[in-house]
Chains A and B, each alone.
Chain A
Amino acid sequence: DQQVKQNSPSLSVQEGRISILNCDYTNSMFDYFLWYKKYPAEGPTFLISISSIKDKNEDGRFTVFLNKSAKHLSLHIVPSQPGDSAVYFCAASAGSNYKLTFGKGTLLTVNP
């Protein structure tokens, strides 16, 4: 039973364009959502997060949108750069629970 789903295994975009990565969740107890980025042979690194009391959080080129009624969040990267090419994981936690539940990841390729 996958509680966090990333239905697109891969995404390819042109440099300078917008990348939109999607994530759906089923557990209504989740109230904190995170995106992690992972390069090959490295551990995931934290990118951006959002609390369920917000519907948008922005950090530079990265914006996360949360639609609680749809149990859906998305990560927007504008403009996309070749260095953004990596696997992006969506993760969620419930309350102040440390336990993160991860999706399977989406491989983003940004073409020069």
Chain B
Amino acid sequence: GAGVSQSPSNKVTEKGKDVELRCDPISGHTALYWYRQRLGQGLEFLIYFQGNSAPDKSGLPSDRFSAERTGESVSTLTIQRTQQEDSAVYLCASSLSPRGFNEQFFGPGTRLTVL
């Protein structure tokens, strides 16, 4: 498929465990974004990648959250020592470039449930 893909689609974990969420952006898109949507809320910006570097990590809620991107392609968002408040849908998006307006294409999201 040509769209943004994310895996897993659903993840249930126990409090205190680490989780890794994966995003495969559209080929050729240099910019990649992670958002989080908690129940009843809008999408919250987490982090942005331009190529493999992350110039803006301002949305990461705590140092338990980290992300990396390799090969200007796949990105992983890691949450260490998960807490119940981390339960949310984690959405990844990509765009051709972050400059000016370039439409962000979203993946279907990973629904994370922390028990």
Which A residues form the contact surface with B (CB < 8 A)? Answer: 2, 4, 6, 32, 36, 41-46, 49, 51, 89, 91, 93, 96, 98-105
Contact = CB atoms under 8 A, between A and B. Distances in A.
Interface of B: 4, 31, 33, 35, 40-45, 48, 56, 59, 91, 93, 95, 98-109
Given A98-B33, A99-B48, A99-B56, A4 B42 contact: yes
B91 A43 contact: yes
B93 A43 contact: yes
Contact of B40 (A49, A101, A104): A104
A46 B104 contact: yes
Given A41-B108, A96-B98, 12 more contacts: A2-B42, A6-B42, A32-B101, A42-B108, A43-B105, A43-B107, A44-B91, A96-B100, A99-B59, A100-B45, A102-B42, A104-B42
Nearest to A90: B42
A99 B109 CA distance: 18
Contact of A98 (B31, B40, B91, B109): B31
Nearest to A91: B43
A91 B43 CA distance: 9
Given A43-B106, A45-B106, A96 B43 contact: no
Contacts of B91: 43-44
Contacts of B95: 98
A96 B100 CA distance: 4
A36 B91 CA distance: 14
Contacts of A49: 101
A101 B100 contact: no
A101 B109 contact: no
A99 B45 contact: yes
B23 to A, nearest CB: 11
B43 A102 contact: yes
B48 A98 contact: yes
Contacts of B59: 99
Nearest to B55: A98
A42 B1 CA distance: 14
Contacts of A103: 42
